[in-house]
Amino acid sequence: MRLPLIVCLAATLASCGDELSEAERAEQDREVVERVREANEAAPPLVQVVPEPILYPDMEAHDLFGLACSYAPGTSMGARVIAREADAFVKVDGDVIRFAADPGSRELPAKSRSLYNGREYSLRLNVVDKEADAETDTPFLEGTVWLRDRWDRVIYQGTGAVSCGA
């Protein structure tokens, strides 16, 4: 919508007043093209996203059972990300979004990956081994999730417990 407005404005300005020389007209055209390019490449305002817990009905509907890692931010027990070998899932605004694994990214526990790509977002994951639980002698995993928009801007970041297994 900006392009027709800018082109019409440039044509109107060019038709007013004295005739322009070929060099002046070429310079004006370059300026208009540059303004249009800047307008088209400008990213929209940043919109923060907060992933919602993926509940059991969501898991049934998308067959999210089997070997995977679940990421829950802070002290929450509700998984916000479920990452598997080939794909990962995040729930945003009531919709469960599927991401495809980047096969060239680093492998994490349970054959999950550190990078997943979707249509609107990309997902980066990191897992760190913490001290083992003294009572059960099981390792405690902590993970960080970064959700980025299509302009590679971080729109969500969360750190918390990671549970991996079948």
Q: What is the pLDDT of residues 13-66, one digit of tens each?
A: 555 556 778 888 999 989 999 988 888 887 888 888 999 999 999 999 999 999
Check residue 92 and give its pLDDT: 95
The model's pLDDT over 87-139, given as tens digits with 9 standing for 90+, comes to 999 999 999 999 999 999 999 999 999 999 999 999 999 999 876 555 655 56
Closest CA to 89 of 121, 47, 111: 121
The helix/strand/coil state of 48 is: coil
Q: Looking at the 3D structure of the chain, how many domains does it have?
A: 2
In a domain, 48, yes or no: no
In a domain, 63, yes or no: yes
Distance in angstroms (rounded) separating the CA atoms of residues 115 and 45:
24
What does the DSSP 8-state code read for residue 63?
T
Whether residue 62 sits in one domain with residue 119: yes
Check residue 116 and give its pLDDT: 98
Q: How far apart are the first and last CA of the chain?
A: 50
In a 13 Å sphere around the CA of 93, the CA atoms on its Cβ side amount to: 3
Check residue 135 and give its pLDDT: 64
pLDDT band at 165 (very low <50, low <70, confident <90, very high): confident
Whether residue 127 sits in one domain with residue 72: yes
40: left (phi over 0), alpha (psi -120 to 50) or beta: alpha
Q: Kindly report each contact of residues 155-159 with a partner whose C-beta sits within 8 Å and lies 24 or more positions away, as own/partner.
A: 155/46, 155/47, 155/48, 155/49, 155/121, 156/48, 156/49, 156/50, 156/51, 158/51, 158/71, 158/73, 158/74, 158/80, 159/73, 159/74
Check residue 7 and give its pLDDT: 54
Distance in angstroms (rounded) separating the CA atoms of residues 54 and 61:
11
Whether residue 105 sits in one domain with residue 25: no
User: What is the domain extent for residue 26?
Assistant: 2-41
Dihedral angle of Cα 133, 138, 140, 143, to the nearest 10 degrees: -170
In a domain, 161, yes or no: yes
Q: Model-level pTM?
A: 0.73
